[in-house]
Amino acid sequence: MPLAPVRWGFLVLVMLLAACAPSSNAQGPVVRNRIVYGLTLMPSGFDPHIHSSSELGIPLRQVYDTLVYRDPTTGDFVPGLATEWTVSEDGLTYTFTLRQGVRFHDGTTFNAQSVASNLERITDPATASQRAAFLLGPYLNHRIVDEYTIQIVLSEPYSPLLDALSQVYLGMASPTAFGQYSLNRYQFHQIGTGPFMLVDYVPGDHLTLRRNPDYAWGPPFYTEPNERSVDEIEFRFYEDEASRSLAIESGEAQVMGELPPIDARVLTGNADIRINPVAVPGQPLQFIINTARYPTDNLAVRRALLYGANRNAIADTVFQRFSPIAWGPLSANTLYYNREVINAYANDTGQALALLNQAGYADNDNNGYLDFAGVDLTIDVIVPPWGKIPEVAQLLQDQWRTLGIRVNLKPVPTRGALLEEVEKGEYNLVAYYSFGVDPALLDEYFMSNAPFNWSNYSNPDLDMLLTEARRQLDPNARRDLYAQAQRLIMEEALILPVRDYVNLNAVSASLSELAFDAYGWYPLLNNLQVAGG
């Protein structure tokens, strides 16, 4: 019977031994400025030309350079691997003059042929690109003019092309590496021209970047590296929400994204950690309202739902006041955001009730719910599990319940299930959002023939505004068109915007200069430094 005590003793011994190991390394001299950066999702693949997650760009954005960049403060396009570019009169041909003296991490020289190889790889059907190919829109082909000049030819005018070319999905990779590694192997051996090089990628475990010592062709907002610059970054995957704040508190990670708001609130009291909330441009968290189904086919009911929603209460509780309230179809830091929508349909239960009464709803049977023709006012809401949507939907259910509206929540487990539920058409509201800087993303949701026209709204005026804005190259004209589109969407109450998406980052106080690019998700790792002093 001495078996059990022996096992116990062994276990304790192992624990003691292991306990000694990490504490002895922890105090050693720092050879490099190395940090651990916590990612929150394990992308199924890490090839930016093939895969589509936002998460992959967090490390890879700075492994690659793009032809153009968006300035993080102004949002304007600035030179990247292309020093200048011109657009033909008809908007169909973009001519890029490429930077000379740029070398990929494997020594390959960057030139027009490199750009051509990248475009060919992305648009090849065999690549089965999940995002990059679609970002190119009406891309037709390319033309190499000379070693450092290339043209991109479109089949129709498409103003978001530069936006596409400034994203990591169209990062320029080494054609030599394409030849060396098969389509699905390349992701483990990525070669770009950026300020960081991919050292290794072990799926599910980590991805390591090291500074590229030869880098000398960054966009204007990349700072010169110095002795305090971070030069090695290990990315780890903290998929479980609860593990994130624990990792940053214990010092296992120095940067962590997507903290749950409650944990972020708790960490604000910790002097060793800073909370860095970054609003991500695109669509806010919104409930798209179905105009083709009773009772939300009635504009008065849609408006009453908006007036009856107390977004302050939601922002205070679910998002712990880290997120700005959303008022329109675009987040406030998205290009051409129309400030006129601010405070549209601010919480006003009196107004909501008046609208419903005018529409003929009253509690005739005294059951606590408004009714019309003997039927209670009932709405069905499709609720996906991500982005704290279930919590938001529950609060809305309560808020609308006090107005006398019965709310059925229909939870769906996955995106696929969400699409299938929408396909059935038996919903009044469905929660969704997407990211991007260029408001052309509205096309996907609000054009009459859009794949995600979940409001089932069809209006030639709105179609015309969005189509014209997509073709138009003049920024002022685009701004004006999108302003009208945003106003129209809110006048028709096609959505209930809730809050701008905010990535709640936690940063160790030992780091400084953590900033993010115009797209919100991607840190400017190049500028990251260990704190001085």
User: Between the CA of residue 117 and those of 92, 113, 150, 522, what are the distances in Å?
Assistant: 21, 6, 12, 25
**475-491 vs 460-471: helix axis angle to the nearest 10?**
160
Closer by beta carbon to other proteins, 21 or else 373: 21
Asked if residues 282 and 446 have their Cβ atoms less than 8 Å apart, the reply is no
Task: Please report whether residue 268 would count as binding other proteins according to CB under 8 A.
Answer: no
Stretch in the footprint of other proteins (CB under 8 A) among 111-119, 247-255, 333-341, 492-500: 247-255
Task: Please report whether residue 131 would count as binding other proteins according to CB under 8 A.
Answer: yes
Stretch in the footprint of other proteins (CB under 8 A) among 138-146, 196-204, 217-225, 368-376: 196-204
Task: Please report whether residue 387 would count as binding other proteins according to CB under 8 A.
Answer: no
- Binding test (CB under 8 A) with other proteins, winner from 71, 232, 252, 513: 252
Asked if residues 319 and 311 have their Cβ atoms less than 8 Å apart, the reply is no
Task: Please report whether residue 262 would count as binding other proteins according to CB under 8 A.
Answer: no
Neighbours of 369 (CB within 10 A): 17
- Binding test (CB under 8 A) with other proteins, winner from 251, 368, 425, 475: 251
Asked if residues 284 and 337 have their Cβ atoms less than 8 Å apart, the reply is no
Bridge partners for 255 per DSSP: 37, 507
Closer by beta carbon to other proteins, 231 or else 421: 421
Closer by beta carbon to other proteins, 376 or else 463: 463
Q: Choose among 42, 473, 494, 507: nearest CA to 245.
A: 507
Task: Please report whether residue 51 would count as binding other proteins according to CB under 8 A.
Answer: yes
d(CA 55, CA 75): 21
Task: Please report whether residue 340 would count as binding other proteins according to CB under 8 A.
Answer: no
**Minimum CB–partner distance for residue 360 and other proteins (Å):** 36
Gyration radius (Cα) of the chain, Å: 26
Task: Please report whether residue 435 would count as binding other proteins according to CB under 8 A.
Answer: yes
- Binding test (CB under 8 A) with other proteins, winner from 3, 30, 31, 373: 3
Closer by beta carbon to other proteins, 263 or else 371: 263
Task: Please report whether residue 471 would count as binding other proteins according to CB under 8 A.
Answer: no
Task: Please report whether residue 10 would count as binding other proteins according to CB under 8 A.
Answer: yes
**349-358 vs 299-307: helix axis angle to the nearest 10?**
160
Task: Please report whether residue 139 would count as binding other proteins according to CB under 8 A.
Answer: no
Residue type, 22: P
Stretch in the footprint of other proteins (CB under 8 A) among 68-76, 310-318, 324-332, 406-414: 406-414
d(CA 134, CA 123): 9
- Quick one: three-class SS letters along 361-372? CECCCCCCCCEE
**Minimum CB–partner distance for residue 268 and other proteins (Å):** 17
Residues in the chain: 533
**Minimum CB–partner distance for residue 163 and other proteins (Å):** 12
- Quick one: three-class SS letters along 289-355? ECCCCCCCCCHHHHHHHHHCCCHHHHHHHCCCCCCCECCCCCCCCCCCCCHHHCCCCCCCHHHHHHH
User: Between the CA of residue 307 and those of 371, 382, 400, what are the distances in Å?
Assistant: 19, 20, 10
Closer by beta carbon to other proteins, 133 or else 493: 133
User: Between the CA of residue 435 and those of 147, 318, 442, 501, 503, what are the distances in Å?
Assistant: 35, 21, 10, 9, 12
Q: How many residues bind other proteins (CB under 8 A)?
A: 63
**Minimum CB–partner distance for residue 422 and other proteins (Å):** 10
**Minimum CB–partner distance for residue 181 and other proteins (Å):** 13
Neighbours of 88 (CB within 10 A): 13
Task: Please report whether residue 2 would count as binding other proteins according to CB under 8 A.
Answer: no
Task: Please report whether residue 510 would count as binding other proteins according to CB under 8 A.
Answer: no
Bridge partners for 69 per DSSP: 78
**Minimum CB–partner distance for residue 342 and other proteins (Å):** 26
Task: Please report whether residue 7 would count as binding other proteins according to CB under 8 A.
Answer: yes
Asked if residues 495 and 260 have their Cβ atoms less than 8 Å apart, the reply is no
Task: Please report whether residue 271 would count as binding other proteins according to CB under 8 A.
Answer: no
- Binding test (CB under 8 A) with other proteins, winner from 56, 60, 382, 418: 418
- Binding test (CB under 8 A) with other proteins, winner from 155, 184, 357, 364: 184
**Minimum CB–partner distance for residue 361 and other proteins (Å):** 33
- Binding test (CB under 8 A) with other proteins, winner from 24, 28, 224, 242: 242
Q: Which stretch of DSSP H or E encloses residue 233?
A: strand 232-237
d(CA 62, CA 179): 22
- Binding test (CB under 8 A) with other proteins, winner from 86, 414, 448, 510: 414
Task: Please report whether residue 27 would count as binding other proteins according to CB under 8 A.
Answer: no
Task: Please report whether residue 45 would count as binding other proteins according to CB under 8 A.
Answer: yes
Closer by beta carbon to other proteins, 443 or else 492: 443
d(CA 139, CA 437): 20
Task: Please report whether residue 138 would count as binding other proteins according to CB under 8 A.
Answer: no
Asked if residues 181 and 54 have their Cβ atoms less than 8 Å apart, the reply is no
Identify residues 87-126 at the interface with other proteins (CB under 8 A).
Answer: 125
Asked if residues 193 and 103 have their Cβ atoms less than 8 Å apart, the reply is yes
Closer by beta carbon to other proteins, 215 or else 432: 432
**Minimum CB–partner distance for residue 323 and other proteins (Å):** 20
d(CA 495, CA 485): 13
**Minimum CB–partner distance for residue 444 and other proteins (Å):** 7
Binding stretches for other proteins (CB under 8 A)? 1, 3-5, 7-8, 10-11, 14-15, 18-19, 21-23, 42, 44-45, 50-52, 125, 128, 130-131, 134-135, 137, 183-184, 187, 202-206, 236-240, 242-243, 246-247, 249-252, 412-421, 434-435, 444, 451
